[in-house]
C-alpha cells in the first residue's frame, strides 16, 4: 500500500445510557486514531463520574424486570444478536481493522468468535444447569437454583474489541444480569456498533449501557460503586490487581483476565514446518498484541539452530502493512506509545546480549511512506535466555525470544519460570512429552501441537499467577454471573427434629 490513504468518514460515538444515546455530561470528547495511518476516525464522548453513575442507576433500575424474564426469553434476544452479527460481518470487521489495526482476515475471525460466543451463551438460556443431590432424609429434595447477581461492570482492553467484551456481556445478560460496559479508549467504535445490535435485537432499555472514556475516570468510578455486584475485567495485571483490591472492599464477584508471557515448547521430535508455522502465527498475529502470544519459544537443543534459522527467515518474510490491504499478514501496533515501548524492548534485548535474528526496529529508515506513517514495527526474533528482561516482561508487541532447553523437563522448568500463567503450547509427536507438559506447565491453557492462539468458546479460559483468576467461556462461563442458591424441599409434611439423631 504505497498510495495515499483515503480519509474515512469521521464517526461520532456517544454514550448509551437507559436506552438513549447521549453526549458526555460535560460535553467532553476524545479522538480515535487509525494506527495504520494516524488519521482521526471518530470523536467519542468522554464519560464523566456523573455519566457512570447514570449508567449504573439505569442498569440497577432495569435489573428487576430483566432478571424476572425467563432465561429462554433472554436467549431469544441473544440469538437475534447473533443473526445481526452475521448480517454485519464485513462492516464490523472493517471497523475493527480501522481502529485496532489487525489484518482484515483476523478481524473477520474475531467477529466470527464474537458470533460463536453470543450463540453459545444463547444456548445456555435453555440449559443453565444446576443440580439435585440425593437427600439424607426421606421425602426431601436437596437442590440448587441459579440466580443472577445484579449490575455487572464489563471493562475490556482494545486488542479484541468485540470478542472479549462479548465473552462477558453474553453470559452476564443471559443469566439475567444488567451491564455497564466500559470499552478501551482505542476501540470504542466497534463497541458502539455491536451495542447497537443488542438494541436492534430488542434488549430492553437500561439492560446494557455503554460508557466510553478514560480508565482512570470511567473504569475507576465503576469499580468503586458498591452497586456493581460483578466485575469482569480484562487487561493488564497491574490494573487488575488495583481493581481486585477495590472489589474486595465490597466483596463482589470478580473475574480477572490479565497479562501473559506465554511459552511455546518445540520438542526435538516435532514436525519443524508445523511448529514454525504455528509459532509464527502465535507470535506475530495481531502484531503480537495478544495475551496468549507466544513470546517465549523454548526449543530442545538438537533442533535449536534449524528451528531458529527457519523461524527467523519466515518472520522476515511476513508482509507488514495496513490491515485493510488483503496481502497484509501483520498490521501496526495500537499506538505511538506502544511502538515506542516495542522499540525500547528491541534495544533492551540488544543491550542485554540477546542475539538479534530478525527485525529489531521500526520502518523509519526506508520501506515506503505508509510503514513510516503508521505504528509499524518489524517482526522481531531474538535468541536469548529466560532470565533476560525481554523474556520476563510482557512486551505486547511483535518481539519473541527463542530459548534453548536441554530436554523437555528443562523446557517445562523454563516455561514455569515467569510471573504469568495464561497460555502455553508444546509441539511434539511423543504423547509422554505432551501429557507431561499438559500436567506440569503452570498455565490456564496448554495447546498440544498448536500455537497458543485460537481460543474456543466451548472450553473454559483463564489464567493462574499474575495472569488472573476465574474462568470464562464453556460450561463454567455462567458461574461468574450466577449465584447458586440451595433449596431444601420437604414433601413429607411432617415435623422433623432439627438434628439427625444417630440410628441405634
By CB under 6 A, name the binding residues for ligand NAD.
155-159, 164, 182, 184-185, 215-216, 219-220, 223, 234-236, 239, 242-243, 257-260, 291, 394, 396, 422, 463, 467-468
In degrees rounded to 5, what are phi and psi of residue 56?
Answer: -65, -45
Cell numbers representing residue 39 in the block = 488519521
- Distance of alpha carbon 442 from alpha carbon 461, whole angstroms: 14
Q: Which is nearer to ligand NAD, 176 or 470 (CB)?
A: 470
Query: 14, 99, 257, 329: which one is catalytic?
Result: 257
Q: At closest approach, how far in Å is the CB of 334 from ligand NAD?
A: 8
From 262, 241, 257, select the one nearest 463 (Cα to Cα): 257
Look up 175 and say whether it is catalytic.
no
CB of residue 86 to ligand NAD, shortest distance in Å = 24
The angle that helices 431-440 and 408-416 make with each other, rounded to 10 degrees, is 20
Tell me the three state secondary structure of residue 333. Answer: coil
Closest approach of ligand NAD to the CB of residue 393, in Å: 11
Which of 159/268 has CB closer to ligand NAD?
Answer: 159
Contact (CB, 8 A) for 425 and 264: yes
- What's the CA gap between 488 and 493, in Å, rounded? 13
Least Å from the CB of residue 472 to ligand NAD? 7
Smaller CB separation from ligand NAD, 257 or 480: 257
User: Among all chains, which residue has been given the C-alpha cell 482494545?
Assistant: 158
Residue 231 annotated as catalytic: no
Nearest to 5 by CA among 32, 47, 39, 42: 39
Residue 159 or 254: the one with the smaller Cβ distance to ligand NAD is 159
Question: And the C-alpha cell for 171?
Answer: 453470559
CB atoms within 10 A of CB 8: 17
Contact 20, 209 (CB under 8 A): no
Q: What is the separation, in whole angstroms, between the first and last Cα of the chain?
A: 87
Residue in 291, 329, 472, 479 annotated catalytic: 291
Tally the residues of the chain.
504
Q: How far is the CB of 206 from ligand NAD (least distance, A)?
A: 21
Helices (H), 285-398: 301-317, 336-351, 369-373, 389-392
Nearer to ligand NAD, 125 or 260 (CB): 260
Check residue 466 and report its DSSP letter.
G
Task: Quote the least distance from Cβ 5 to ligand NAD, whole Å.
Answer: 25
For residue 230, the cross-strand partners are: 152, 253
Residues annotated as catalytic (active site), given as ranges? 257, 291
Amino acid at each position: 500500500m504505497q498510495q495515499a490513504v483515503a480519509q474515512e468518514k469521521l464517526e461520532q460515538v456517544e454514550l448509551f445510557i437507559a436506552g438513549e444515546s447521549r453526549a458526555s455530561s460535560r460535553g467532553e470528547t476524545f479522538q480515535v486514531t487509525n494506527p495504520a495511518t494516524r488519521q482521526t476516525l471518530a470523536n467519542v464522548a468522554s464519560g464523566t463520574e456523573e455519566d457512570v453513575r447514570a449508567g449504573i442507576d439505569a442498569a440497577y433500575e432495569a435489573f428487576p424486570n430483566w432478571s424476572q424474564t425467563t432465561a429462554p426469553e433472554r436467549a431469544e434476544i441473544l440469538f437475534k444478536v447473533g443473526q445481526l452479527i452475521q448480517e454485519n460481518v464485513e462492516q464490523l470487521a472493517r471497523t475493527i481493522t480501522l481502529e485496532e489495526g489487525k489484518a482484515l482476515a483476523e478481524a473477520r475471525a474475531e467477529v466470527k468468535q464474537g458470533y460463536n460466543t453470543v450463540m453459545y451463551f444463547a444456548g445456555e438460556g435453555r440449559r443453565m444447569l444446576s443440580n439435585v443431590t440425593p437427600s439424607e432424609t426421606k421425602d426431601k429434595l436437596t437442590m440448587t437454583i441459579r440466580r443472577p447477581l445484579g449490575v455487572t461492570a464489563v471493562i475490556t482492553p482494545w486488542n479484541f474489541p468485540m470478542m472479549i467484551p462479548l465473552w462477558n456481556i453474553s453470559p452476564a445478560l443471559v443469566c439475567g444480569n444488567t451491564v455497564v460496559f466500559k470499552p478501551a479508549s482505542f476501540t470504542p467504535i466497534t463497541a458502539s456498533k455491536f451495542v447497537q445490535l443488542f438494541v436492534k435485537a430488542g434488549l430492553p432499555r437500561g439492560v446494557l449501557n455503554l460508557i466510553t472514556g478514560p480508565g482512570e475516570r470511567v473504569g475507576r468510578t465503576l469499580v468503586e460503586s458498591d452497586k456493581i455486584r460483578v466485575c469482569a475485567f480484562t487487561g493488564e495485571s497491574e490494573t487488575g490487581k488495583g481493581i481486585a483490591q477495590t472489589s474486595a472492599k465490597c466483596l463482589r464477584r470478580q473475574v480477572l483476565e490479565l497479562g501473559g508471557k506465554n511459552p511455546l515448547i518445540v520438542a526435538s521430535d516435532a514436525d519443524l514446518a508445523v511448529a514454525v508455522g504455528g509459532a509464527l502465527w502465535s507470535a506475530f498475529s495481531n502484531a503480537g498484541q495478544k495475551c496468549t502470544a507466544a513470546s517465549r519459544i523454548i526449543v530442545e537443543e538438537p533442533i535449536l539452530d534449524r528451528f531458529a534459522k527457519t523461524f527467523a527467515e519466515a518472520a522476515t518474510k511476513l508482509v507488514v502493512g495496513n490491515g485493510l490491504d488483503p496481502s497484509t499478514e501483520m498490521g501496526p501496533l495500537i499506538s505511538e506509545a506502544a511502538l515506542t515501548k516495542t522499540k525500547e524492548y528491541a534495544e533492551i534485548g540488544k543491550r542485554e546480549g540477546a542475539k538479534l535474528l530478525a527485525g529489531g526496529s521500526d520502518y523509519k529508515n526506508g520501506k515506503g511512506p505508509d510503514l513510516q506513517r503508521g505504528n509499524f514495527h518489524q517482526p522481531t526474533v531474538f535468541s536469548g535466555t529466560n532470565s533476560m528482561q525481554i523474556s520476563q516482561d510482557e512486551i505486547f508487541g511483535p518481539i519473541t525470544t527463542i530459548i534453548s532447553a536441554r530436554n523437555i523437563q528443562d523446557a517445562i522448568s523454563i516455561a514455569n519460570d515467569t510471573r504469568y500463567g495464561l497460555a502455553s503450547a508444546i509441539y511434539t509427536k511423543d504423547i509422554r512429552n505432551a501429557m507431561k507438559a499438559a500436567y506440569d506447565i503452570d498455565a490456564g491453557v496448554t495447546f498440544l501441537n498448536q500455537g497458543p492462539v485460537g481460543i474456543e468458546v466451548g472450553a473454559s479460559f483463564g489464567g493462574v499467577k499474575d495472569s488472573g483468576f476465574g474462568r470464562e467461556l464453556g460450561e463454567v462461563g455462567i458461574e461468574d454471573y450466577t449465584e447458586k442458591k440451595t433449596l431444601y424441599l420437604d414433601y413429607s409434611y411432617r415435623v422433623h427434629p432439627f438434628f439427625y439423631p444417630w440410628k441405634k
